[in-house]
Amino acid sequence: MGLNFSLLIVAALILAVFLGVEALGLSFLFGVIIPYLAIATFIIGFILKVVKWAKAPVPFRITTTSGQQKSLPWIKDNKIDNPATTSWTMVRMALEVLFFRSLFKNTKAELVDGKKLTYQWEKWLWLAGLVFHWSFLIVVVRHFRLFLEPVPAFVTLIGKIDGFFMVDLQNVYITGVLLLAAVTFLFIRRVLIPQVRYISLAADYFPLFVIMGIATTGILMKYFYRVDVVSIKELTVGLFSFNPVIPEGVSVLFYIHLFLVCTLISYIPFSKLMHMGGIFLSPTRNMPNNSRAERHINPWNYPVKVHTYAEYEDEFRDKMRAAGLPLDRESSEAEAAATKE
């Protein structure tokens, strides 16, 4: 259901931009207005989402981590998995953000002979996820050769390394191929594993299809249906320098590519893709577990009006004495002080 729905939406988006540019000549809309709106939506939406999250208090350290907490000096603590200081927490966060350490601990649970529960080695999800995210990052950085004039040296360097392999007189960018392969693997995994398919929604398939669309149109433009790169760079440089122009001879394939990118980035703040910012706010990862060393007070605690037992006894002493109940004090503190004098 979610799968077909997402596929239909992506197909409709592609058709819309194709008809819009080819039949209606809306290249200014798809080449300038929508990209600006998408970037604004992305940046403003992202900030608002993070601010909204930051309004939720997260006072308590998560103590059930997978490592030994720092306690007595002769018990060896696990500094990365259960950090007690901010700097070790940053190490844990860095490993999480850069190498998906939690996902690396992923295992596969299976019933053998219908009754024995076994946990098996399962690194493919982690590997594909890592390849996907890193390839995507490198692909984005590489695109700055078409965004900036002059091109910064590090972009050129990354492009050179990425295009190390040459097929039929031209450099093939490894990350482009890996990106498409990894996203395809992640999609197939989602469809083929029944449990994963059961919990998959349109919100899971849609970004996968959009990213597949982006990668496919990119690869088509680069290797198969060649486009006029100089006109395209004129368009993108125009966008980034706020002198938007629509040059002649920009292929519709480019508009499809651009529109899918706009769809993806404007979709980020409203979707699961916010894990881009959300990972930094993971309560299980970003707080040092120092709850034995420091007292953390719930920030929404308000002053509670208490009635202590001593006050209670003061209030009901006569009645309690009359009923023969045991008393902590025979008379209130004030009376005791008065009698002494």
Partner 1 sequence: MMFNSRNIIIGLIIFVGIFTFPFVLSAGKANEAPKLSLDTPVINELGTEECLLDTEYMRSNHMQLLADWKVEVVRNGNRVFVNDEGREFNMSLQNTCLECHSNKEEFCDACHTYAEVDPNCWDCHVAPEVVK
120: enclosing H helix or E strand = strand 116-121
| 119 interacts with partner 1 by CB under 8 A | no
Stretch of 60-68, 91-99, 101-109, 222-230 contacting partner 1, by CB under 8 A:
222-230
Interface mask toward partner 1 for 19-58; x: CB under 8 A = --------------------x--xx--xx--xx--xxxxx
CB-based burial, 15-29: b 16+ in 10 Å, e otherwise: eebbebbeeeebbeb
Contact 262, 281 (CB under 8 A): no
CA–CA gap between residue 271 and residue 274 (Å, rounded) = 6
Structure tokens at 42: 């992305």
Binders of partner 1 in range 267-286 (CB under 8 A): 277, 280
Check residue 170 for interaction with partner 1 (CB under 8 A).
Answer: yes
Structure tokens of 265? 């980035």
Q: Which of 3, 155, 214, 256 binds partner 1 (CB under 8 A)?
A: 155
The nearer residue to partner 1, 39 or 127, going by C-beta atoms, is 39
**Cβ atoms of residues 313 and 306 within 8 Å:** no
Which of 102, 106, 156, 271 binds partner 1 (CB under 8 A)? It is 156
Q: Which of helix, strand or coil describes residue 242?
A: coil
Beta bridge mates, 121: 107
Pairing of strands 116-121, 165-167: unpaired
69 touches 289 (CB < 8 A): yes
Name the residue nearer to partner 1 (CB basis): 288 or 317.
288
Q: Which of 174, 233, 252, 271 binds partner 1 (CB under 8 A)?
A: 233
Q: Does 241 bind partner 1 (CB under 8 A)?
A: yes
By CB under 8 A, residue 91 contacts partner 1: no
Q: Of the candidates 169, 192, 199, 297, which one interacts with partner 1 according to CB under 8 A?
A: 169
Q: Is residue 170 helix, strand or coil?
A: strand
Residue type (1 letter), 155? V
| Closer to partner 1 by Cβ: residue 210 or 232 | 232
Among 18, 99, 104, 240, the residue binding partner 1 under the rule CB under 8 A is 240
Q: 328 forms bridges with which residues in the sheet? A: none
**Contact residues for partner 1 (CB under 8 A)?**
39, 42-43, 46-47, 50-51, 54-58, 144-149, 151-152, 155-156, 159-160, 166, 168-170, 226-231, 233-234, 237-238, 240-243, 245, 247, 249, 251, 277, 280, 299
